Every structure is written in C-alpha cells, then in structure tokens.
Amino acid sequence: MATYLQGRGYEVVIAEDGNRAWEEIKSDLTLRMAIIDWQMPGMSGTEICRRVREELHLVPFYLMLVTASGGKENLVKGLESGADDFLIKPLDKEILLTRVQVGLRSVEQQSRLVDRIMELDATVRQAVDFRRNLPVCGKCKRIRDDSQQWHRVSAFVEGDIPGSFPALLCPECSG
C-alpha cells in the first residue's frame, strides 16, 4: 500500500505501531490524512481515531480505518470512533487511490472553510470594535467626527464627513 501510494506521488509516513502512529499524527502538523489499521500493537486504530477527534478537532484531518474484519457492526464501530472512511482488506489499489483522493479533497474543502471562518470572525471583531468605538449620542443618535463635530447618521453614511464610509452606488443607482 505504501509503495503504491508513493509511486503515485504521495508522501507516506510509516509507523510500526499504534503508539508511534499517534505520536506522528500529533507532532507532524502537516499531516492531514492517516490510513490506520484497526488492529496494531500498542494503540488500536479506533483509539487513534477517537484521540484525533478529541484532541485535534480544530485541524481538518481525514481518517481511513483499515481492517480484515468487515460487517455492519465493525463498520458502525469504526465510523463512530471518528473514522471518515472504512476499508476492508485485501485492498484494491484503484479503490484505495480514489478514496485517498476523495479524502484529500475533503480536507482541502474543510481547510478553505476554516480559513473563511477565520476571515469572517476577524471581520465581525472589527465591526464590533468599530461599533464599540463609534461615538454616538445616546439620545439623538448623532455621530461625532474627529474634529468633535456632531452629524446626522445619514451624513456619516453618505460620506459627507471626512473619514466616514466611502460613497458607493448599488447596481440600481449606478445604472
């Protein structure tokens, strides 16, 4: 399996047991996918899945659990442990490659979503800071500018005050 994936251009890290696999996953922040055998010396594959989901939940990570034991019960147990995919030995190379590609695509999409959420969070924080620091009269709702002059909100929004919002036109008004 490792040789096949390496031959297809994928970087493969091999761990001799479950404990070492967990250490690799925890310590290598560039890893985004793991193909884990259910039964390994040391920590089991299902335990690794649980730990990844509990301890590394902020990082997009795709887990494929491999076992010689199929069946509905094992599939359910494996997926409930946190695995994203479940493969039964012997592995078909084309199916393995396709599932790796699906997993990487999923991680890529999750990473983009995380980045977008972080951007939106920063924008919300800026808006909250702006609102918190905007000098507004509690009674008449006028806004004070940098020269300590008070203006109607409409003047502020329309751009009549230096440093206020830029004057923009919506598609209806610009056409």
Set out the domains of the chain in order of their start, with CATH numbers: 1-128 (3.40.50.2300), 134-174 (no CATH)
Cβ–Cβ < 8 Å for 89, 68: yes
Residue type, 45: G
Prediction pTM value: 0.72
Q: CA–CA separation, 160 vs 154, rounded Å?
A: 9
| Burial of 10: CB neighbours in 10 Å, binned 0-12, 13-18, 19+ | middle
| Burial of 64: CB neighbours in 10 Å, binned 0-12, 13-18, 19+ | buried
- pLDDT in 10s for each residue of the chain, 175 residues: 899 999 999 999 999 999 999 999 999 989 999 999 999 999 999 999 999 999 998 889 999 999 998 889 999 999 999 999 999 999 999 999 999 999 999 999 999 999 999 999 999 998 888 777 778 888 888 888 878 888 887 776 666 555 555 455 666 777 6
